[in-house]
């Protein structure tokens, strides 16, 4: 039986609310505030995984300020490897350019919508990564597009919100988020409510690690495995396009 995919965990529509454009200059600081700095450990781990995979061309969707791609490049990956760092927000890409500009020979920055990337040819990339962006898009469309652009045998690497085990601890975490996230977000953004509304809703509604793995399998990916980080606040999923 085919799994029914919810469209968008955060109920975020980029063309309707340019929240990431508004908070681009404060985005890295907000990540520190919302996660108490733990996101740095998550990013180190996913950068390690990406760097260790075998690829020559990597497409990174929702690259944001370029934080994770910078960590990948610092792994001293072979000079022949090429990264396409993409995001829908030009303001975020401008900040990424400041971080990644010194690696210009290996990095190409592109403004792309993960739901549809006609500029990227089918079967043209060896690996596709997306970190903390799948919950703010229509994930079934984004995953279908990832499957399209990957070559047969190509790798998909995802870092995203997940489910803490045991379940009672996950419920406690969501309760903490519901109480503390609005207060932190309101103070940090000067009252921009949308900046934390999407985060809170996306974390609450995004599927757990097992369900996301099942959705990926249902869509056509294979060899799926995942690793929970920080008890399962987030998880890294790795999958392969058949072939």
Q: SS in 3 state form for 29-78?
A: HHHHHHHCCCHHHHHHHHHHHHHHCCCCEEEEECCCCCHHHHHHHCCCCC
Query: Left, alpha or beta for 66 (phi > 0: left; psi -120 to 50: alpha)?
Result: left
d(CA 119, CA 8): 24
| pLDDT value of residue 193 | 67
Q: In this structure, how many other beta carbons lie within 10 angstroms of the beta carbon of residue 152?
A: 9
| pLDDT value of residue 2 | 38
Question: Which secondary structure element, helix H or strand E, spans residue 97, and what is its range?
Answer: helix 90-100
d(CA 40, CA 99): 16
| pLDDT value of residue 203 | 87
| pLDDT value of residue 3 | 40
| pLDDT value of residue 148 | 98
| pLDDT value of residue 4 | 39
| pLDDT value of residue 215 | 97
Structural domains for the chain: 19-240 (3.40.50.150)
What pLDDT tens digit does each residue of the chain (243 aa) get? 334 345 787 677 777 778 888 888 888 888 888 888 999 999 999 999 999 999 999 999 999 999 999 999 999 899 999 999 999 999 999 999 999 999 989 999 999 999 999 999 999 999 999 999 999 899 999 999 999 999 999 999 999 999 998 999 999 988 988 888 777 777 767 777 666 777 788 888 999 999 999 999 999 999 999 999 999 999 999 999 999
DSSP string, 199-228: HHHHHHHSPPHHHHHHHHHHHT-EEEEEEE
CB-CB contact of 238 with 49 (8 Å): yes
| pLDDT value of residue 5 | 41
d(CA 177, CA 174): 5
pTM above 0.85, yes or no: yes
In terms of Cα–Cα distance, which of 115, 109, 160 is closest to 135?
160
CB-CB contact of 189 with 196 (8 Å): yes
């Amino acid at each position: 039986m085919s799994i029914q995919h919810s469209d968008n965990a955060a109920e975020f529509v980029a063309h309707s609310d340019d929240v990431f454009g508004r908070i681009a200059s404060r985005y890295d600081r907000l990540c520190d505030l919302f996660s108490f700095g733990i996101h740095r450990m998550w990013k180190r781990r996913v950068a390690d995984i990406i760097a260790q995979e075998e690829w020559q061309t990597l497409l990174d969707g929702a690259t944001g300020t370029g934080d994770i791609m910078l960590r990948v490049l610092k792994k001293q990956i072979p000079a022949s490897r090429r990264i396409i760092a993409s995001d829908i927000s030009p303001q975020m890409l401008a900040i990424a350019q400041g971080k990644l500009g010194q690696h210009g020979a290996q990095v190409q920055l592109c403004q792309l919508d993960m739901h549809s990337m006609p500029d990227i040819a089918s079967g043209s990339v060896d690996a596709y990564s997306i970190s903390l962006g799948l919950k703010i898009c229509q994930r079934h469309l984004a995953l279908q597009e990832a499957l399209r652009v990957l070559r047969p045998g190509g790798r998909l690497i995802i870092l995203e919100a997940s489910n803490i085990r045991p379940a009672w601890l996950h419920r406690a975490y969501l309760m903490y988020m519901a109480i503390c996230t609005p207060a932190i977000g309101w103070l940090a953004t000067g009252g921009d409510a949308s900046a934390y509304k999407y985060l809170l809703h996306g974390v609450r509604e995004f599927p757990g690690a097992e369900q996301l793995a099942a959705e990926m399998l249902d869509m056509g990916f294979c060899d799926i495995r995942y690793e929970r980080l920080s008890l399962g606040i987030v998880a890294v999923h790795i999958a392969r396009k058949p072939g």
